[in-house]
Amino acid sequence: MRRFVAFAAVFAVATMVSAASFAKEDTREAALRSAEMSRFEAQVNADAKALDRLLDSDLEYVHSNGDFDTKASFIESLVNGKRDYIASTANIQGVRILGDVAIIRGTARVTVADNGQSRDLDLGYTDIWVWKDKRWQMTAWRSARMPPPATK
Amino acid sequence: MRPRFLLALFVSLPLVALAAPRGDETSARAALAARFDAALRADVPALEKLLADDLEYCGVRATCSTKAQYLESVRSGTRKFRSLKPEIERVTMYADSAVLTGKVYSVSIIDGAERNVDAYFLVVLAWRDGRWQMTNQSSTSLEAKPKT
């Protein structure tokens, strides 16, 4: 009987640890998806305060045209209007969490102001997030322009 | 006796995992260099080991391939290189993964014609089965830069 109780106790603890771990992952994925959407919104609003929390200090942001930004230069370009995102619609296609690193893959339609006119960019993107200071922070972004749909 | 053994096992497993050898920055750099080299040589068996089963390979045209699709393109010769010169600029180590960024300068052969494809790359390596495996590569073309 004593053996059974000991075994059951070990099993129960293992199950609880495992269940807690799965629940934690669900919570972290939900937080990650939310952070991703908040980041797109913060870029459109040029919200430096929000971006400061959402972007990692080591951020490498490579735009689809090959321009490279650090965290400081990216936020500065949004605040001073050098980059002007009018709207963005993101579609997350895949999320993978590898411990303290997460990979998001998706597509986005980004409307930018360009010489007084608006221009739509259709992008395929990958961004990498890291779990730091109990929150997700984006540390890298790569995107590529999607070819225009074939015309008949 | 048995419950004690199980309890000891339960407590010690995380310690064993912590004591297991992990990949370091040098081995991560070497794994990525080996991956580029295997791609240049179209070495499918080497790529099988170097690529993770859940690979996402996203090229400069915004299309992504799975591991099977990527290997098939190498096998069939759809993806072929005359030269492939990576410059690994930054490596950031995490618990079970590494993020590597840099540039790659390549001459690819498409339908018999050579084409320069230079790109920023972003690679995530995962430490699995005692070795680094590439689980994501995403690229942005450097060629796009002068156009905007």
Tokens of A83: 């980059």
Q: Which helix (H) or strand (E) holds B10?
A: helix B2-19
Residue A150 lies in a domain: no
Contact B140 A142 (CB under 8 A): yes
Sequence letter at residue A135: R
Nearest to A43 by CA among A147, A148, A138, A134: A138
Q: Which residue in chain B has the smallest CA separation from A129?
A: B99
Print the domain residue range for A130: 2-145
B52-62: b (≥16 Cβ within 10 Å) or e: bebbbbbbbeb
**Does the complex come out with an ipTM higher than 0.90?**
no
How near does any CA of chain A get to the CA of B25, in Å?
A: 16
Q: Say what the pLDDT of residue A6 is.
A: 64
- List all residues 6 or more positions away from B146 whose beta carbon is below 8 Å from its beta carbon: none
SS3 for A63-119 is CCCCCEECHHHHHHHHHCCCCCEEEEEEEEEEEEEECCEEEEEEEEEEEEEECCEEE
Judged by CB atoms closer than 8 Å, whether chains meet at A3 and B2 is answered as yes
d(CA A123, CA A110): 8
Q: Is residue A104 within 8 Å of residue A32, measured between CB atoms?
A: yes
Report which secondary-structure segment, H or E, holds A57.
Answer: strand A55-62
pLDDT tens profile A31-55: 999 999 999 999 999 999 999 999 9
Residue A151 resides in a domain? no
Give pLDDT, residue B19. 53
| Residue-wise pLDDT tens digits, B12-35 | 655 555 555 678 999 999 999 999
Q: Is residue A65 part of a domain?
A: yes
For B50-99, what is each residue's pLDDT tens digit? 999 999 999 998 999 999 999 999 999 988 999 999 999 999 999 999 99
Domain count, chain A: 1
Instruction: Identify the CATH number of the domain in which residue A136 sits.
Output: 3.10.450.50
> Between chains, do B94 and A130 touch, taking CB under 8 Å as contact?
yes
Contacts of A107 in chain B (CB under 8 A): 62
Specify if A67 maps to a domain: yes
CA B121 from centre of chain: 10
Domains of chain B: 23-147 (3.10.450.50)
Question: pTM of the entire structure?
Answer: 0.85
Please give the DSSP secondary-structure letter assigned to residue A46: T
